[in-house]
Amino acid sequence: MTNEANFVKELTSAKGKEKAFAKLLDLYQERLYWHIRKLVITHENADDVLQNTFLRIYKSLPNFKQQSSLHTWMYRIAYNESLRFLEKNNKQNNVSINDVNNAYLNTLVGDVFFDSNEAQLKLQRILSGLPVREREIFQMKYFDDLTFREIEEVISVKVSTIKSSYYNTVSHIEKNMLSVQLLTKTQV
């Protein structure tokens, strides 16, 4: 945003709040949806978490101190809402992260919302085999185009650690891209 401070004033003013929040939804809804979707896997879960994210954003706007960008602040809320959802879901269903990764891959193969080619599916297969933190860092940098500094603000990990993780993940992907086996729809 060119004048973020004024936009935040609009978001927190009694007069222009509703109109400004509608603009905020237009600007960030899709980006936050895909950020959440990569974490919670299914379209339905992503929609639920996105709704909770925007409710939390709306309620928390008066407390936004502008110590980070509005974009980064919202990504952090979306990230934390996604983690809350996953934690709650894992406790209720007693599901391991490997089961979640396999479900994610199986969901992608048959998902009408995931328009991909073989390379994208191979990338997702490689990412599903990574530890959660490495996968999250890669996704935020590669897919969400966040800077290393923004990722630091979202997940509270030092930039040097984030860079190391990201570049190690890129190297791992490059080494393994040709050898990845894909599931077909008939195998799911």
Same domain, 90 and 121: no
Q: What is the pLDDT of residue 104?
A: 53
**Is it the case that residue 150 has pLDDT exceeding 90?**
yes
Which pTM does this prediction carry?
0.75
**Is it the case that residue 124 has pLDDT exceeding 90?**
no
**Structural domain containing residue 102:** 98-188
d(CA 121, CA 154): 26
Confidence at 147, pLDDT banded by 50, 70, 90: very high
Confidence at 129, pLDDT banded by 50, 70, 90: confident
Q: What is the pLDDT of residue 116?
A: 53
* Closest by Cα among 137, 130, 140, 109 to 173: 130
Read off the CATH number of the domain in which 187 is found: 1.20.140.160
Region 2-20 average pLDDT: 88
**Is it the case that residue 21 has pLDDT exceeding 60?**
yes
Region 78-107 average pLDDT: 70
**Is it the case that residue 65 has pLDDT exceeding 50?**
yes
Same domain, 32 and 91: yes
Same domain, 173 and 188: yes
Q: What is the pLDDT of residue 131?
A: 87
Cα angle: 114, vertex 120, 122; to 5 degrees: 120
How many C-beta atoms lie closer than 10 Å to residue 3's C-beta? 9
Same domain, 74 and 103: no
- Looking at residue 66, the DSSP 8-state letter turns out to be -
Same domain, 57 and 140: no
Cα angle: 104, vertex 73, 82; to 5 degrees: 25
Q: What is the pLDDT of residue 101?
A: 53
Same domain, 10 and 36: yes
- Last residue of one domain, picked from the residues 45, 70, 95: 95
